[in-house]
Structure 1
Amino acid sequence: MDPHEIEDTSDWLGCPTELQTCRHFLRMYENEVQELTLQMRKAREDIFGLVQMHADVSKERDQLRAELNRARAALSDVRRNTTEIETKSNWELMAMNKRVSELYDKIQHLTGEDPRLKLPRS
């Protein structure tokens, strides 16, 4: 195509020049960069907040784990004490039963009657 056949539109009203078009795109890019910068700043703040929340929750988790371990240790102590008390009680009951049995035998030997067969008087 011959360059003389192309219509020159530079003097038309409302048609931007090449410089004006470049300036317009430059402003658009500047605005886009500013918007992206704001979004990035917001994202960084959000990330920092999430990191802080994670640190706080991790600290609380560690405290709760320590408290749980202390509670488990206390429970273990209580169970050990309970077992010792039950064992002692069982030994004492067996000793009393043996003594009662010995006394029954002694009463039977002395009286000739079995005290276990007598019913209490009402």
Structure 2
Amino acid sequence: MHPIDEDTSAWLGCPTPLEMYKHQCALLEDEITQSQALLRKARQNIAGLVQLNDVLATRLAEVKEVLKTAQVEVAQLKERCSEPAILSMKLVAEQRDYLFRENQRLMLELKRAEAPST
């Protein structure tokens, strides 16, 4: 029977504590390198997003200015369309349309009256 307290560090293929520490350090160095690469990429992404945000903010300001100009123009057009001259022109156009329809109706009645009855 083998004693349980046997020192296994001398067995063939088993790493020494120093070798295990070196291996652990190498793993940590790889993780740090990967983390630095990810951090670098994240910083580039953030820089790109900041630039995109600046472009969008500038474009938003331009669009707001165009919107203000358009709103002023619409207000002016509404004001001009409600002037008495425009309203009277609308009234004349409505009267013209009414008289045209009435004329067409009367002409149709006249044709019916003149048609020979059979």
If the length of structure 2 is used for normalisation, what is the TM-score?
0.64
Greater RCO structure (CA 8 Å; 6+ sep): 1
Identity among equivalent positions (%) equals 31
RMSD: 2.2
What residue is the counterpart of 1:15 in the other structure? 14
Name which of 85, 88, 100 aligns with 1:88. Answer: 85
Aligned counterparts of 1:12 and 1:88: Cα–Cα separation in 2? 110
Aligned counterparts of 1:24 and 1:55: Cα–Cα separation in 2? 47
Structure 1 moving runs of 4+ over 6 Å: none
Aligned counterparts of 2:48 and 2:70: Cα–Cα separation in 1? 33
Aligned counterparts of 2:62 and 2:22: Cα–Cα separation in 1? 60
The alpha-carbon deviation at position 5 of structure 1 amounts to 6.0
Which amino acid in 1 is paired with 2:79? R
Gaps of 5+ in 1: 94-122
What residue is the counterpart of 2:29 in the other structure? 30
User: What do the CA deviations read for 1:57-95 (whole angstroms, capped 9, x no partner)?
Assistant: 1211111111011011111122222223xx13539x8xx
Aligned counterparts of 1:38 and 1:31: Cα–Cα separation in 2? 11
What residue is the counterpart of 1:70 in the other structure? 69
Please identify the structure whose Cα radius of gyration is greater: 1
Which amino acid in 2 is paired with 1:43? A
Distance verdict in 2 for CA 1:76–1:5, change over 3 Å: closer
Number of residue pairs the alignment of both structures matches: 87
Which amino acid in 2 is paired with 1:38? A
Q: Which residues in structure 2 correspond to 1:42-81 (within 5 Å)?
A: 42-81=41-80
Aligned counterparts of 2:4 and 2:74: Cα–Cα separation in 1? 99
Which amino acid in 2 is paired with 1:88? A
